[in-house]
Structure 1
Amino acid sequence: MSRTSTARRRVRRGPGVALVTAAAAGLLTACSLSYEEAQCSDGEYPVLAVNNSGSQCLKNGEEPPEGFARYPEGKVPQHVGDKWDEYWMTHTLDENGKIVPLP
């Protein structure tokens, strides 16, 4: 094989490798972008079950029903899996509004 044919083959592979590399980088970038699922829909807010691990969403302006309470200020989960969502999986409020660990 002559030097010329080897050089041509390298040139031909170069763009293919570059395209594959660019495509892989694009896929990795797209996969690294995360989608954060909101705790509640627009116009709603989350409430926590008292002495329980449950929660629900209420329309803005509605008061929590019996057995539910508003999350303490500054400790309201905004997205599924965020810091406060994880925290409230192991904690709750008692009937006096005190934060207690779940049994």
Structure 2
Amino acid sequence: MTNHFALVHLKKTKFYCAPCEMYFLNGFRLRYHQKYFHEKRPKPKHKICHYCGKGFSSNRILENHTRTHTGERPFECELCAAAFAQKHALTKHVTTAHKNKN
């Protein structure tokens, strides 16, 4: 809770990345950032698609990929009949196709 308060409310913690001038919630997140952002190590791809065997680094990416196999489109436009597999596709659709309907 102390780390949360320092980061979110005071905007400063002891977990600081000097090259980025960014603060992190805890040491784990700072080390993760340094390892995969600055050292450019590849993230482990241990989340495996049971349809095709392809590996992914996070559950969110795996879920998005799985929809390419299932055809699921859970993100529906409230203004028309369009539906999308990924949330960012819905957001882009709404801002482009319905830009004058807000």
Fold in common (TM above 0.5) = no
Higher strand share: 1
State the TM-score, normalized to the length of structure 2.
Answer: 0.20
Largest Rg, 1 or 2? 1
State the TM-score, normalized to the length of structure 1.
Answer: 0.20
